[in-house]
Amino acid sequence: MSVDFLPLLSVLVVLPASGAALLTRVHEPGRARRVALGVAALTLVLALGVLALFQSGGPGARELASWGRVPLLGLSLRLGVNGVSVVSILLATLLSLGLVAAGPRQALDRATLGALLLTESATLGFFCAQDLGLMVVFWVAMLLPAKVLISRHARARPEDRVLRTFRTYLLAGSLPLVAAVVLLGLPGWQSGAEVPLGLSELFERGVLAPQQTAILALLLLAAAFRMAVVPFHSWLPVLMARGPFGVGLLLVNVHTGLYLLVRVAMPLLPEAWAAAGPLLEGVGLFGAFYGAVLALAQVDLRRTVGFLLVSQSGLMLAGLAERNAESVSGALLQSVAAAIPLTGLMMVVRALEARTGTTDMTRLGGLVRRSPRMAALFFLLGGAGLGFPGTLSFVGEDLLLHGILGAHPLVALPLLLTTAINGITFLRAFMRTFLGAPVHGQSLMLEAVEDLLPRERLTALSLCALAFLGGFLPGPMLRLREHEVSVLVGHESPSAHGDAGSHGAADLPH
Amino acid sequence: MLLSDVLVGWIATTVPFWPLMAFVGLGVVMLVHRTPGERTVAWCVQGALGLSLLASVVTIISMLVRHQDMLVVDVGPWFSAGSYTFEVSFLLDRLSVTMMGLASVITQLIGRFSVNYLHREPGFARFFLLLALFATGMLLLVEAGSIDLLFIGWEMVGLTSAMLIAFFQERTTPVRSGLKAFTIYRLCDVGLLLAVVLMHHWLGSAEWVEALGMRPWPGQEVSLAVVPATVLGLCLLLAAMGKSAQFPFSSWLPRAMEGPTPSSALFYGALSVHAGLYLLLRAAPLLDRSPVASMALVGVGLLTALHATLVWRVQTDVKSALAYAVLTQVGLMFVEVGLGWYRLALVHLVAHASLRCLQLLRAPSALREVQARHAASQGARPPRVAVAHHVLPGSLERRFYRLALERFALDVLHEQWALRPLLWVGTWIDRAERLWVGALSGWAPREVEPESRLVSKPSRGESTGAV
């Protein structure tokens, strides 16, 4: 089995980066785009292959590829997948392909394409890594291409502002994680263990109770910055509004933060996590509500999408904090269910911006006349992201709702109001942008708007189709992660993690 | 001919399925390829509605023939996680079969009517697409065997309702009215969602049969303490108030008449406006357990009826007058449900839906009818219908007249007390947020303010507060 996986996972991680390296040799823009598109498509195919092998295998988590270790720090270069990360890998490859395929031509120059591919590589590495030290390396590497890109764009002053915001949050989101890893690794280094930071070794060793709280706090801080949970969210809307196109992939960030919590924080520090649960849940719910109110007050479509995402990540954090099977699988599902359509939505917004030069709703209106398909796709993608029935996010929100409210009916109000307000925000944005009469003085400009091009349409349509198909048949995706979820909520002991055992309904009675 | 239970169950399952097929097929073709011609669209949707009507007629007849009061169709689990499973099941009893028949007949008739009415309208295909989605939602809603499934139908009905109000999308007012209706729906849906979760929590199941007992409607009983029953009843009441436009939330209904006439007749004369009532009738055993919820129901219904009957007298256009007339009757039905007269309420519902649908369909020619009647009676003054308000003393009558003209200023009140504070808070936080980001990036916001306005004007607009 490991022979099958060994090259596959490593190739998966290395392929986009080598594509980026190849791009430096290609000078003609059209060819650069084609190369990037080919590489992204190939990566998706490989990810599908990983999924197929994983499904044929069965057990929950596996160490599958090992490339030796870095001697000084004791990092082991091990890659592997489990039920959660296999979905994350698919998500990252899919969204990268979508962005490369459908981004506006003028935004996709060579540098942006390279940054996109490098980010993809680092993200995939993060999801595959089985060593905490390696995860940290990828965690930082994920943001570096975007940072280089932004600093290249930051000639004018408003962009300079973006750069500084970004730098602040890059530091704030990475330093706590490094500190936490150092704390976790200390005992291992002192005792001279062979692999001080390997995930499975860490799970076996466990963490002493007095240290748990501090480490959890550091991990949470890092994840909260990455997920843009409310007190630490300011970078996301700013970047969405002002940043270059390539950072669009940062939408996956929400998922990365969630993954860090699910893969490391929850299994490694169960007692501290349980103790912090109520607090986290409160923070998450408050953040969700706060993001919803802010999104309602926005007039810029890009910022609206940004705050909607902030609101969603608050919901996910609350779901994880609740720690029952419904809420955890709801949070995991919702992170995929929101990321797919909201990326599509962001793409449509970018296409709109490329055509009209603005995303300010007060200056738009009546666009449906010239571009009915853009309007329809905007509507479907937005609806799919915010939990209208028949979509994947409906399933996610339903599970979250039952998980959280089933345990604490009292916290119902902010949660329900959040979902209600998010729906209103979206429909309001849709109606102001696409329906009604054009704003006075803008009608000439709006007359010239072109509908979505075939490649944009194809991407948006496939994201849409995924969201709706997933909503119609959510079973397979829920089953993929069933094993991990039941481990996380404590139906099985963490030591069973990584051992064989059919991941399926058979695990539940434990 | 006697059909087996399983077969009847399958036939009943297809009732909401056919319009869904039409919606998906037509929607995909429109999105991927191009909008088909009027004939194809009408044929497709009408065919689907016809099939669904046929299936519901077969179901009704076979249940009548066999004197069957109740049939539960278990389709299967949709998804599950942990101890929670979303079961797709349908419940056919006297109540839902009646509503199913009503819904499929009226939808079919309205579909036929609209083929001519909307001929050469630019949004012809869009109308039929939404009609199919509405039929799916409404039939799911009435047939649903669990409150979870009912919620799905409920949301579909709400969304199509908002989109059809905004049907004439190049004008500003219909779009604004659609958004208003959707906002109120969505806020009141909070009640329904809460009820869904609380039902799971307290009754252990969201299936109507398991939660409310196996006895045929309306004789079910529920074993639940008074306080939970009251909370559940009030949550459901909130949901029903939004959907059926009861008193504090009634301002969206007259504005909803901005949509095309057939959709007004279908939604606000016949089906959608009665969906809230259906929910209450379905949950009747819960209301039986809780005097407080029943009293609240009576109070809301009376207030609505009073408010609406005052307002319709002074309306100058026929559709607004009809909208308030609808509210009067629906308010009375709420009272009936509150008093426990469920069968009466159901009969009232069916009769009212049929009559009001007809009236709304004839509304565009109301003026000509009045003129014809006037000519026929050769100028003799017709007898006055609305005289009850004359019993009020003079000064009060004048005051009520003014209030009724302004429709009791509900719109303004909503805006002032709900929307504006929320937007104000949102804008205020937004400003704080921008300051914070500015401070983070080492920016003294005041000194560069003019420049920033120059550079980034498009994204700096303040919220105007207008929805």
Which residues of chain B have a CB within 8 Å of the CB of A359? 458-459
Query: Are B418 and A120 contacting, i.e. CB atoms less than 8 angstroms apart?
Result: no
In which band, very low, low, confident or very high, does the pLDDT at A376 lie, cut at 50, 70 and 90?
A: very high
In chain A, the percentage of residues whose pLDDT exceeds 90 is 10
Using the predicted structure, report yes or no on whether residue A207 has a pLDDT greater than 80. Answer: no
Backbone torsions φ then ψ of A24, nearest 5 degrees: -65, -20
CB atoms within 10 A of CB A84: 23
Q: For A163-177, what is the HEC assignment? A: HHHHHHHHHHHHHHH
Q: Does residue A343 lie in a domain region?
A: yes
Chain B residue closest in CA terms to A394: B152
Residue A31: count of CB within 10 angstroms of its CB = 12
Chain centroid to CA A384: 16
3-state secondary structure A367-409: HHHCCHHHHHHHHHHHHHHCCCCCCHHHHHHHHHHHHHHHHCH
Closest CA to A281 of A253, A320, A231: A320
pLDDT at A474 (0 to 100): 87
Inform me whether the C-beta atom of residue B453 falls under 8 Å from chain A C-beta atoms.
no
Q: In A, which residues are within 8 Å of B175 by CB distance? A: 431, 435-436
Q: What is the pLDDT of residues B87-119, one digit of tens each?
A: 899 999 889 999 999 999 999 999 999 999 999
Q: What is the mean pLDDT of chain A?
A: 81
Return the sign of the alpha-carbon dihedral for residues B88, B92, B96, B98.
positive
Question: Which of A164, A326, A383 lies closest to B84 in CB terms?
Answer: A326
For residue B382, the SS3 value is: coil
Q: Is residue A297 part of a domain?
A: yes
At residue B304, the pLDDT reads 94
Asked whether residue A225 is domain-assigned, the answer is no
| Residue (of A235, A183, A236, A256) closest to A213 by Cα position | A183
Mutate to test the interface with A, among B186, B196, B205, B419 (most CBs of A within 10 A): B186
Whether residue A493 is predicted with pLDDT greater than 50 in this model: the reply is no
List, for residues B23-44, the tens digit of each pLDDT value: 999 999 998 888 888 899 999 9
| Residue A69 pLDDT | 64
A472-510 b/e with 16+ CB inside 10 Å = b?
eebeebbbbbbbbbbbbbbebebebbbeebebeeebbee
Whether B394 has a pLDDT exceeding 90, the answer reads no
| pLDDT reading at B349 higher than 90 | yes
Phi, psi of A143 (to 5 degrees): -95, -15
**Contact between A409 and B198 using a beta-carbon 8 Å cutoff:** yes
The number of beta carbons lying within 10 Å of the beta carbon of residue B272 is 27
- The amino acid at B25: G
Of A496, A499, A498, nearest in space to A510 by CA: A496
Closest residue by Cα to residue A428 from B411, B178, B250 = B178
Determine the Cα–Cα distance for residues B396 and B304; give it in Å rounded to an integer: 19
Query: Quick one: how far is CA A17 from the chain centroid?
Result: 19
For residue B463, what pLDDT band results from cuts at 50, 70 and 90? very low
Q: Could you report the per-residue pLDDT of A324-338, keeping only the tens digit for each?
A: 888 888 898 998 888
Tell me whether residues A431 and B166 touch, CB distance under 8 A.
yes
Least-confidence region, from A3-17, A327-341, B386-400: A3-17
Give the three-class secondary structure for B75.
strand
* Cross-chain residue pair B175–A431, CB shorter than 8 Å: yes
Please report residues of B whose CB lies closer than 8 A to that of A302: 459
pLDDT of A74 reads 67
A151, with CB counted inside 10 A (0-12, 13-18, 19+), is middle
Tell me which of A272 and B47 has the higher pLDDT. B47
Q: Which residue shows structure tokens 């995909």?
A: B28
Count of pairs with CB atoms under 8 A, one residue in A, one in B: 180
Distance CA B173, CA B179 (A): 10
Output the six-digit token pair for B240.
Answer: 């029903």
Q: Would you say residue A418 lies in a domain?
A: yes
Of A238, A293, A412, the CB nearest to B426: A293
pLDDT at position A500 is 34
pLDDT at B251 over 60: yes
Interface test with A, best of B433, B443, B448 (most A CBs within 10 A): B433
Flag whether A211 is in a domain. no
Task: Give me the residue from B175, B436, B461 closest to A362, CB to CB.
Answer: B461
Look at residue A157 in the predicted model and tell me its pLDDT: 55
| CA atoms of A490 and A496, how far apart (whole Å) | 11
Q: Is residue A41 part of a domain?
A: no
Burial A339-373 (b: 16+ CB within 10 A, else e): bbbbbbbbbbbbbbbbbbebbbbbbbbbbbbbbbb
Nearest to B79 among A168, A299, A395 (CB): A395
C-alpha–C-alpha distance, residues B457 and B452, integer Å: 8
Residue B450: pLDDT above 80?
no
Give the pLDDT band (50/70/90) at residue B50. very high
Contact A420 B448 (CB under 8 A): no
How big is chain A, counted in residues?
510
Residue closest to A418 by CA, chosen among B416, B241, B199, B187: B187
- Position B442 scores a pLDDT of 61
By the CB < 8 Å criterion, does B78 face chain A?
yes
Rounded CA separation B273/B249 (Å): 12
Q: Rounded to a whole number, what is the distance in Å from the CA of B317 to chain A's nearest CA?
A: 23
Nearest CA in chain B to A508: B82
Q: Cβ contact (<8 Å) for B193 and A158? A: no
Question: A388-414 pLDDT, tens per residue?
Answer: 888 899 999 988 888 888 777 777 778
> Prior bond to B218 cis, omega within 30?
yes
Note the pLDDT of residue A504: 34
Contacting residues of B for A435, CB less than 8 Å apart? 166, 169-170, 175
Rounded CA separation A485/A83 (Å)? 9
Q: Which band of pLDDT confidence, cut at 50, 70 and 90, is reported for residue A159? A: low
Q: Are the beta carbons of A91 and A480 closer than 8 angstroms?
A: no
Inter-chain residue contact B464 with A168, CB threshold 8 Å: no
Report B:428-447 residues touching A (Cβ under 8 A): 429-430, 433, 436-438, 440-443
Helix (H, G, I), strand (E, B) or coil at A58: coil
B357 closest CA partner among B101, B119, B107, B49: B107
| Mutation to test the B interface, candidates A157, A433, A435, most B Cβ within 10 Å | A435
Measure the CA–CA gap between A227 and A207, rounded to whole angstroms. 25
**Does pLDDT of A83 surpass 90?**
no
Share of chain B above pLDDT 70, in %: 94
Residue A57 has pLDDT above 70, yes or no: no
Which residues of chain A lie closer than 8 angstroms to B423, CB-CB?
A: 296-297
Residue B110 in 3-state DSSP? helix
Per residue in B274-309, pLDDT (tens digit) is 999 999 999 888 888 889 999 999 999 999 999 998
How many Å lie between the alpha carbon of B336 and the closest alpha carbon of chain A?
A: 30
| Cα B179 to Cα B188: distance, rounded to the nearest angstrom | 14
Residue B389 has pLDDT above 80, yes or no: no
Of the pLDDT bands very low, low, confident and very high (cuts 50, 70, 90), residue B136 is: very high
A259-295 residue pLDDT tens? 888 888 888 888 888 888 888 888 999 999 999 998 9
Per-residue pLDDT of B172-202, as tens digits, reads 899 999 999 999 999 999 999 989 888 888 8
Residues of B in contact with A290 (CB under 8 A): 429
Is the backbone of residue B371 left (phi > 0), alpha (psi -120 to 50) or beta? alpha
User: Helix B272-282 and helix B226-243: axis angle, to 10°?
Assistant: 170
Q: What is the pLDDT of residues A86-130, one digit of tens each?
A: 888 888 888 888 888 887 777 778 888 888 888 889 888 888 888
Convert the pLDDT of each residue in A227-250 to its tens digit: 888 888 877 777 777 766 655 555
| Domain housing A312 | 269-472
Q: Please state, as a whole number, how many other Cβ atoms lie within 10 Å of the Cβ of residue A441.
A: 8
Query: Please, where are the H alpha helices in A192-299?
Result: 199-205, 209-227, 235-242, 252-260, 266-268, 270-297
Q: B346-352: list long-range contacts, CB under 8 Å, 24+ apart.
A: B346/B95, B346/B98, B346/B281, B349/B274, B349/B277, B349/B278, B350/B98, B350/B102, B352/B274, B352/B326
The answer to whether residues B74 and B89 touch, using CB atoms and an 8 Å cutoff, is yes
- From B242's Cα to the closest Cα of chain A, the distance in A is 13
At residue B169 the predicted structure's pLDDT band, cuts being 50, 70 and 90, is confident
In a domain, A257, yes or no: no
- What mean pLDDT is predicted for residues B141-156? 92
Q: How confident is the model at residue A181 (pLDDT cuts 50, 70, 90)?
A: confident
Residue with tokens 């571009």: A371
- A450 or B125, higher pLDDT: B125
The stretch B381-406 carries a mean pLDDT of 81
ipTM of the modeled complex: 0.89
Residue A301 lies in a domain: yes
What whole-number distance in Å separates Cα of residue A361 and Cα of residue A296? Answer: 12
Domains in chain A, number? 1
CB contact under 8 A, B172 and A437: yes
User: Best of B146, B165, B170, B258 to disrupt the A interface by mutation (most A CBs within 10 Å)?
Assistant: B170
Q: pLDDT value at position B76?
A: 86
Quote the pLDDT of residue B170. 86
Phi, psi of B86 (to 5 degrees): -90, 105
Residue B439 to chain A, least CA–CA distance (Å):
9
Please give the sequence-ordered ranges of beta strands (E in DSSP) within B278-345, or none if there are none. none
Whether the Cβ atoms of residue A247 and residue A159 lie closer than 8 Å to each other? no
Residue B283 tokens read as: 């949950």
The CA angle A88-A89-A93, to the nearest 5 degrees, is 115
Indicate the pairing of strand A75-82 with strand B70-81.
unpaired
pLDDT of residue B3: 73
Q: Which residues of A touch B463 (CB under 8 A)?
A: 297-299
Pick B445 or B313 by higher pLDDT: B313
For chain A, first and last CA: distance in Å? 27
